[in-house]
Structure 1
């Protein structure tokens, strides 16, 4: 395998390692490969930042944001991205420069962008990281051990109408409320693009977090449903092994995103859910979400998200959907948990608040 002569693996020691690489053992890096066109999703790539664009910071493996400067060395994952409010991107290296497509540490080629987006931050790919045997290092090499599905723990799914509908706040608020109600709870982000925002939000609310990067995926866009399902099983079972009685699972993007749609239509994920909380930005989206879920035989126990910030929009949504509209403060309440979530439980802990 051809090795770079000017750039050495020692540069990785001073590089900024992104959140998507957080499980990688950095001492495993022994070389750099120039076979960039053979790279695949999840492969680790050393890049130099050439021009700052939309993403002006890198989310580090240490779970803090680092301001980016031209000339910075960064270790990222090659990956696809689907973000209607930002970029559609592919996990390919077919030019001298590539794009930073997600601040959590995903690089690739931007194929389309929202009209109001700035140009992406541009990167010069320097090489794929290789291990002692010369194989390209991939985040999948560091995935949690696969586990079979756990049928005892309660699983609550959080879906949304779109990006920025309030899913993360709804999910973390639900986790916080469950904790206050006396449940041992964990948070899981099962699909999406690797970033620490959702992860930190769960843990800030008191719920230990896991996400798809823990099962070897930098992103889940264009990932086969079977692999997403296996990752979901492992994440839920791992959370249960660590003591969770209830697992709150956030599913990324909106109900029409291709992986989310596949999950809802036919998957072991949808079949495993004991309840669904739906996040929506407005009353029409709330009605649309309830309608879409009904078509696949599902029904949310409540609606939350951005809509709950507006008393008028919440009243409209409650009228047309017949579902309670729960704000984040509502979801924090043990009384609300007892009324709306406790009936969904597979098993009652002894110390649940009445």
Structure 2
């Protein structure tokens, strides 16, 4: 048991040649996103498990785990960052084995807090260089050209916020297209590494489902626009081998989140997109979300999300659309509608960019 190290999914295939003890690191040592470390669990908090390559691994105090340093932006969970220097304590920020230092948390987690860790050491190769999952995968990243998107139809699944229903919308959209006999792939372009979202899309009919963690990213928070565009091109190229007619691309969090806003304000990125489907948690966020997208010159082809579980919220959104005549055509699709393929029958000839 003492030698068993539980690996998070981000470093599942990492086999370090040596472990560099914290005391052997320079006093001015600075961590970088993607650095791999070994940690001892001091106290359990929100994360009582980490996701390995195959399954969830239950944690107990005293366990040794392998994780990857990364930042996290999750409005309903944690905000955390890669530390600037060596710390006495570290935290699990994400269930895929993303490690950092917590800065803020949603009030529902304040009482239990994060799972607390002590560093055992940094994972290194034969030369003593610390292993970094992002740097390790850089040779496989393709530069953005936009050509990959020309070979398929990219559908963006966006949401008003975290937990607005965009992942479920994306998965049921995959289901509906698959039931129509269309080949559809799924990509999660931004977020924090965890397999639940891509697994759901695959289970509901996507011929393949991948995310940014394939290229060693523990998260995409605070990454540059160029990195995201190159990652986008690489992931698209990967799924094109399956010859999908559609690729559903999910972008994490809400419209105002840094990376989401960055991509949606990029004309280069939007020129690769066929359609947008927007999910919202309630009627007000649906209305305000459409307004925000319109200000950015984007017209979603449909509304969906958590609010569609409530007939009353659907009615409120329909009233809003009726009061804004230019939006009367905008359909509201429930999960059943998506699964029945109604989205596809509504978008022929639809223009993504607002006139």
Equivalent residues in 2 for 1:59-78 (5 A)?
A: 59-62=51-54, 64-78=55-69
The DSSP-based 3-state class of the residue aligned with 1:38 is coil
Of the structure 1 ranges 31-40 and 216-225, higher mean CA displacement relative to structure 2 is found in 31-40
User: 1:16 corresponds to which residue?
Assistant: 6
1:23-61, Cα deviation, whole Å (9 max, x unpaired): x3x34x101123384221011111111100111111112
Q: Give the alignment partner of residue 340 of structure 2, picking from 296, 308, 333.
A: 333
Unaligned runs of 5+ in 2: 322-327
* CA positional deviation for 1:145: 2.4
User: 2:325 corresponds to which residue?
Assistant: none
Contact 2:30–2:86 (8 Å) recurs in 1:
no
* CA positional deviation for 1:341: 4.2
- Tell whether 2:285 aligns with 1:285: yes
User: 1:91 corresponds to which residue?
Assistant: 82
* CA positional deviation for 1:342: 5.1
* CA positional deviation for 1:268: 3.0
The DSSP-based 3-state class of the residue aligned with 2:299 is coil
Contact 2:165–2:279 (8 Å) recurs in 1:
yes
Q: Give the alignment partner of residue 129 of structure 1, picking from 116, 123, 133.
A: 123
Of the structure 1 ranges 182-191 and 107-116, higher mean CA displacement relative to structure 2 is found in 107-116
CA gap 1:143/1:317 in 2 versus in 1, 3 angstroms: farther
User: 1:6 corresponds to which residue?
Assistant: none
User: 2:324 corresponds to which residue?
Assistant: none
User: 2:140 corresponds to which residue?
Assistant: 145
Equivalent residues in 2 for 1:148-297 (5 A)?
A: 148-149=145-146, 150=148, 151-207=150-206, 208-266=208-266, 268-297=268-297
1:217-271, Cα deviation, whole Å (9 max, x unpaired): 1101111111011101111121112322210000000001111111111253322
CA gap 1:60/1:267 in 2 versus in 1, 3 angstroms: farther
* CA positional deviation for 1:143: 5.8
Of the structure 1 ranges 323-332 and 253-262, higher mean CA displacement relative to structure 2 is found in 323-332
Give RMSD over aligned pairs.
1.9
User: 1:120 corresponds to which residue?
Assistant: 114
Contact 1:274–1:344 (8 Å) recurs in 2:
no
Taking structure 2 as the reference length, what is the TM-score of the superposition?
0.88
Contact 1:177–1:333 (8 Å) recurs in 2:
yes
Contact 1:173–1:332 (8 Å) recurs in 2:
yes
Count of aligned residue pairs for this structure pair: 329
Inter-partner Cα distance in structure 1 for 2:168 and 2:254:
15
User: 2:47 corresponds to which residue?
Assistant: 55
Inter-partner Cα distance in structure 1 for 2:236 and 2:314:
32
CA gap 1:341/1:76 in 2 versus in 1, 3 angstroms: farther
The DSSP-based 3-state class of the residue aligned with 1:116 is helix
Taking structure 1 as the reference length, what is the TM-score of the superposition?
0.88
Contact 2:157–2:277 (8 Å) recurs in 1:
yes
- Tell whether 2:73 aligns with 1:82: yes
Contact 2:293–2:299 (8 Å) recurs in 1:
yes
* CA positional deviation for 1:327: 1.3
Of the structure 1 ranges 129-138 and 33-42, higher mean CA displacement relative to structure 2 is found in 33-42
The DSSP-based 3-state class of the residue aligned with 2:170 is helix
Contact 1:59–1:195 (8 Å) recurs in 2:
yes
